[in-house]
Structure formats: C-alpha cells, structure tokens
A and B are shown apart, each in its own frame.
Chain A
Amino acid sequence: MGIERLDEADAPVVSRERASDTDGDQALAPETRDRATYHAEYRATVDAEYAATRDSWDAAVLELRSTWEAHEARWPSQKDSASPHRPDTLDLEASAEVDRGCGRIREVGENVITPAMRAIEAEDSDRHLIGIEHRLKGAERIKEKVAAEIEARPGLSADQALASVPDGIRFTFCYSDEHYVGGVTTDLERLGALGFKMAKQLKNSWDSDQYKGINTQWLEPETGQRFEVQFHTRASFEAKQLSHAAYERIRNPRTSAAELDELEDFQRQVCAKIPIPPGSPQITYAPRKDRDG
C-alpha cells in the first residue's frame, strides 16, 4: 500500500531556529544568559521529543503495514466487488443530474475555490496543501455517495443529496506537530476572512479511536458551492492513507461482519500510534462576527 511521502518542509523547524538563538549567548547579561540557556535546553528537549515521536511513528508504519498484509492474507481480496454503492444504482435521470452537478463543482472549484486555497497556502511556509491533485472527487465516487445517501434518507432527491456532499472539492493542509494548533487556528481565520462560511460545525476527531484529524466544510458565498478542508499532521495524514484500503473494505456490503470487526480493530491500531499534538482536541472555530456578538 503506497503512502504519499511528504517533503522536508514538514520536518519541525525548531532545529533551524535553535541555531540562531544560541549564537548570541556570549553577549548577554548573566540573568539573560540563564534564560537563554534555559530556552536552549528547552528547545533541545522539544527537538528530542519530536525526533522520538517521528521515529516512533515511522517505526509504527512498518509494523502496521505488516499487520495489514497479514489481514489481506487472512481475508482474501474482494477485487470483484470494490464498489459499495454502484453508481448505476441511480436511475438515469438522477445520474444525469449528478453529472451536471459535477460539471458545476469542477467549474467553481477550479476557477474560484482552488485559487483562494492556493492564496491561503502562500501565506505561511510552515505547512502546505497535500494531495491537491486529488481535490476534485470523481463523478463515480460522488454518485456512490449520492446513492448511499438516498438509500439511508428516504424522500431525499438526487439533487438534494448532491448539494449536501461536502467533499466534491476537498483540500488538506498538513502541518508539523508543533505548528498544528496555531497553524490550524490561523488558517480557519484565513478561510473566514476570504468570505467562506463554515457550513457545519468543525469536526474535531483527535479524540476518536477510528480517525485523527479535523474536517470542516465550507460554502463559497457567491455560488453556495460546498467544499471540504481537512487539517492533518504528517502522521495523521499518513495514517489515513495507510488505513484507506481497510475503509474501502468497510464500505463494501459484501464484507462479512467478522471481518468488519477486524477492520475496525486495524483502524484503531493505526490511530493509537498517531502522536497527538498538545491542544489539538480542543480546537474549535466560531466566525469572528459570532465571537464579537
């Protein structure tokens, strides 16, 4: 199973800052020097902790890949039944409606939302958009989602179901652990400042045992087009990729109840290894106008 590797920009920047902090120690007064020494020691501790965290996650990935290979061996492949809700379960009219909707999503996504997200990305080099080449969900996947929604939501039209699909256009910001809380908070503000409206309360899953990260859905104000922005660390993003095949099996109606339990266990094992940035489970968001009354 492939995992998208991140570049060096994701490595903690503490070490780069540390060198310049300690260079000026000689010229400082004794009291200040004590403080500087304390800071240097503190930074060294932080460095070591993050290095250990990185190493422990990287080691965990190897172990988890083996666990998944063992699962695949135990539960032979289901290649013949990959699609949980086949797009052709939609009738012709609904399918055509979704196709037209996908065209609209693509147009707004490419002309309005993507340039705005690129502009937000350019404001801070400490994190970046990852997997942006996958920002547009394929029409077939959208149809699967619409079909599943209609089935569980009696009375809902294909048009209504499509309008509430949050991730027809999706973006993922990836942060280093130490910049996660501050970075996410700032980027939420940036999205609001550009006029995007959060369509639903932020979903903070850092306390979940099945998934780690923050997912949000937004509305582009002119068109009302919905889009999703996820906020991850390197480990939580890699974990999502690592457990994607398990999730695909979970979605498959032919997966047995017994295997489902094991798939959930696997997702739980993956999540248990993800380092949790301090303060991340407490991240919330309220638009500025709501806070200011």
Chain B
Amino acid sequence: MAEEITYYALVDDYSSREKPGGVVRRIRRDQGHQDEAFSGDLTWKRTWLLHSAERGDTMNDFYPITEDEAMEIVDRIRRESRERG
C-alpha cells in the first residue's frame, strides 16, 4: 500500500469549523499508521488526541478535510506564530 494521508481539522471551544484551531493527519503505510499534529514549533509531532476522540473524548472535534484545506491551516498557524514572535 502506498502512503495514504487523511487530514483532520481540529475544532475546540476556542475555534470553529470555519477557523479550526489545529490540524492533525493520519498517515497509513504498510507498516501501520501514525497520527501527527502540526504543533506550535511548526513541525509535525505525534499526537493521541484523534484516538482519544475516537474513544469518546469530547474535548475536540475532528473533521476530515482536503490536503489543500489542511495546508491553509498550516499556513495560518505559521503566520500567527510569526505575529506572536
């Protein structure tokens, strides 16, 4: 199986479907899968939040999005990070 990536918008109390608070990707390969969030230090890091939501946790909602939509969130996070200094 070739690498298959599904992106999810992370929506919490401080964000919305229109302006998600973060982005998570699930990468599936022959060897298994792994979830990563685009983090505050502007790199992708392992996260368990998507699994947590799949197990009933109500803190965040995750919505599947396209790669383009995911990259828009990534760009916004980069921009906001620069603005925060």
Contact = CB atoms under 8 A, between A and B. Distances in A.
Interface of A: 84, 145, 148-156, 160, 163-167, 200, 203, 205, 208, 210-211, 213, 215-217, 228, 230, 247, 250-253, 256-261, 264, 267
A261 B46 contact: no
B39 A164 contact: no
Classify the interface of chain B: helix, strand, loop or mixed: mixed
Interface in B35-85: 37-40, 45-49, 51-52, 54-60, 77, 80-81, 84
A151 B84 contact: no
Q: In which size bucket is the chain B interface?
A: 20 to 34
B48 A251 contact: yes
A152 B31 CA distance: 24
9 contacts: A151-B47, A155-B80, A156-B12, A166-B57, A166-B59, A250-B51, A252-B48, A257-B29, A257-B31
Nearest to A200: B58
Contact of A164 (B12, B37, B38): B12
A257 B24 contact: no
B26 to A, nearest CB: 10
Given A152-B10, A160-B14, A166 B58 contact: yes
B4 interface: no
B56 A215 contact: yes
A203 B56 contact: yes
A84 B48 contact: yes
A154 B20 CA distance: 11
Interface in B2-47: 10, 12-14, 21-22, 24, 29, 31-34, 37-40, 45-47
A250 B14 contact: no
A205 B56 contact: yes
A203 B80 contact: no
B49 to A, nearest CB: 5
A210 B54 CA distance: 6
B39 A152 contact: yes
